[in-house]
Amino acid sequence: MKTTLRAWQHDCITLALRYYTQQPHFFCQATPGAGKTKMAAELAKQLLLQDKIDLILCFAPSRQTVDGFQKTFSAVLGRRLDGLIGAVGVACTYQGMEYRDAAFWRLFDNYRVFAVFDEIHHCAGHDLLLSNAWGQQIVQRIQDRASFTLALSGTPWRSDHKVIALARYSQPDGMLICDYRYGLQKAIADGVCRSPRIVVLDNDMVRLTETLSTEGTVTTFPSIARLLSESPVSYEDLLFHDDILWQILLMGCRKLNDIRKQHPDAGGLVVATNIEHAHRIAALMHARGEMCQVVTNKTPNAQQVIDDFRSGGCTWIVAVGMISEGTDIPRLQVCCHLSRIRTELHYRQVLGRILRRSSDVDDKAWLFVLAEPALQQYSERLADDLPDDHAVLSVVRASEIEPDDKIEEHSDGPGGLDIAILDSSTGEAFARMGSDHAISILGSSERAAYELNFSQHYRTQLLSVC
């Protein structure tokens, strides 16, 4: 199969082949959606043509990603990667490594193996003592036995700040050393990835009422951040509040409907907190007349549901932990982030699901989030490929919201990030579904009940990486 490589893929392959004459390990960091799997397949093809390897073994964090590897490698190599007789190798999940028998691991002794690791940040550790289960398999069974390894990551750090298997770090500052790096800003400039637009939703007047108090104490907060820091309300409480859901979903639907006027097959993703949450969101979507599907780890034939959505015409898909890193659905252009997970790693992986371009004209991706402090911080430093505070401190061995929105001020943010504060007050909402605009919260000590209400004065902040 003759394929056209992007410039970064060609450069990375050339560099890797040069490195492999001196060392067996190569680490590539490329922004989500840039085409890491295809690059890996083309590199494997070159190693086969140069008669440097016999087998290709690929490892990835999910079944969906494994399926993607099998399809891409088979297309590029013209040979199967399913592990059956006649195949050039096999792709399997990290979780599946511990169930492989001795005959599988002897492949590294009997053949020249090229081992590829997708999203290698899932595998921690440089030694058996300090590794996680997946990292231990790599350290013990692969790193000193494979002829060559290729470690891939779009987000090369771990939330627990542990070292990543097969990675190297500088001393004494502990910064990750990437053999090749292809960042988001470069990918946008090259037309490889869409330019993200992050819309952060806040509220000017949030009212919390203590309903069991004889005085009916009412406290007003000027922002979501103040509410979360100075009250019993948690971020997850907000995610289940209908007013918040209505506003986030409304903005997402308005934006996607606008995009679909030019790109009728464009789709949207809602990342939900749990199964109950996903179905609650789907009910709101259906009440508004939106087409949507729900996929969770309890969904029968979940992979088939994802595949049908990938090539179908359904507008929205609501997912819990199923459409994550490595899942390729290029028609996704809008995402509502409503997951309770608030690590920067997860945030960037969610954003990565809408960055992959499907044509020369779909150049923007839209992510809608709440103005929770951590999510706000992550949004403001998207232009940094590897934020400084994700360095491993020590390595131990053994104007585009809507045409009628009014921009109040605009400033240049750090590192290629544009920030605009927008007035997005809107009285429009989804069908109310019988909501009383309130939420009850039980305190752990006094078990006091509260009601939470939001004013109609929502405001949004637009952040864009350019």
255 and 145 belong to one structural domain? no
By the 8 A CB rule, do 9 and 150 touch? Answer: no
Q: Of 182, 216, 239, which residue constitutes the final position of a domain?
A: 182
Residue entry with tokens 């993200």: 196
Residues of the domain holding 228 = 192-465
Rounded distance, CA 284 to CA 296, Å?
A: 18
44 and 123 belong to one structural domain? yes
Weakest mean pLDDT among 12-26, 58-72, 83-97, 420-434: 420-434
Global pTM value: 0.85
Predicted pLDDT of residue 159: 76
- What does residue 255 show for φ and ψ, rounded to 5 degrees? -65, -45
199 and 144 belong to one structural domain? no
3-state secondary structure of 246: helix
Rounded distance, CA 283 to CA 290, Å?
A: 10
Predicted pLDDT of residue 36: 95
Show the DSSP H helices in 128-234 as ranges.
133-137, 184-189, 224-230
H or E element in which residue 236 lies:
helix 235-239
Q: Which of 172, 178, 166 is nearest to 127 (CA)?
A: 166
Residue 199, sorted as left (phi over 0), alpha (psi -120 to 50) or beta, turns out to be beta
101 and 41 belong to one structural domain? yes
pLDDT score of 442 more than 90: no
66 and 170 belong to one structural domain? yes
Question: Which band of pLDDT confidence, cut at 50, 70 and 90, is reported for residue 407?
Answer: very low
| Residue 447 domain flag | yes
82 and 144 belong to one structural domain? yes
For the chain, how big is the Rg over CA atoms in Å? 24
| Residue 197 domain flag | yes
Residue 305, sorted as left (phi over 0), alpha (psi -120 to 50) or beta, turns out to be alpha
pLDDT, tens digit (0-9, with 9 covering 90-100), for 99-134? 999 999 999 999 999 999 999 999 987 776 667 888
267-7-359 Cα angle (round to 5): 25
pLDDT score of 236 more than 50: yes
436 and 330 belong to one structural domain? yes
Among 8-22, 206-220, 448-462, name the most confident range: 8-22
Question: Which band of pLDDT confidence, cut at 50, 70 and 90, is reported for residue 174?
Answer: confident
| Residue 187 domain flag | no
Q: Of 162, 182, 202, which residue constitutes the final position of a domain?
A: 182
261 and 315 belong to one structural domain? yes
Burial class (CB in 10 A: 0-12, 13-18, 19+), 38: middle
The stretch 390-405 carries a mean pLDDT of 44
Q: Which of 341, 350, 339, 345 is nearest to 121 (CA)?
A: 345
| Residue 306 domain flag | yes
Q: Which residue has the higher pLDDT, 260 or 159?
A: 260
Among 111-115, 135-139, 373-377, 420-424, name the most confident range: 111-115
Per-position DSSP letters for 19-84, written without gaps between them: HTTT-SEEEEEE-TTS-HHHHHHHHHHHHHHTT--SEEEEEESSHHHHHHHHHHHHHHHSS--BSS
Q: Of 134, 158, 182, which residue constitutes the final position of a domain?
A: 182
Residue 220's CATH number? 3.40.50.300
3-state secondary structure of 419: strand
By the 8 A CB rule, do 343 and 424 touch? Answer: no
Percent pLDDT > 90 in the chain is: 59
Predicted pLDDT of residue 432: 37
262 and 354 belong to one structural domain? yes
| Residue 1 domain flag | no
Predicted pLDDT of residue 291: 94
373 and 391 belong to one structural domain? yes
Weakest mean pLDDT among 168-172, 309-313, 446-450: 446-450
pLDDT, tens digit (0-9, with 9 covering 90-100), for 345-374? 889 989 999 998 877 777 899 999 999 999
398 and 291 belong to one structural domain? yes
Predicted pLDDT of residue 420: 57
| Residue 2 domain flag | no
pLDDT score of 399 more than 60: no
Q: How many domains does the chain have?
A: 2
3-state secondary structure of 148: strand
Average pLDDT over all residues of the chain: 85
Predicted pLDDT of residue 430: 41
Predicted pLDDT of residue 16: 98
Show the DSSP H helices in 322-419 as ranges.
344-352, 373-380
Percent pLDDT > 70 in the chain is: 83
Q: Which residue has the higher pLDDT, 272 or 443?
A: 272
146 and 169 belong to one structural domain? yes
Question: Which band of pLDDT confidence, cut at 50, 70 and 90, is reported for residue 303?
Answer: confident
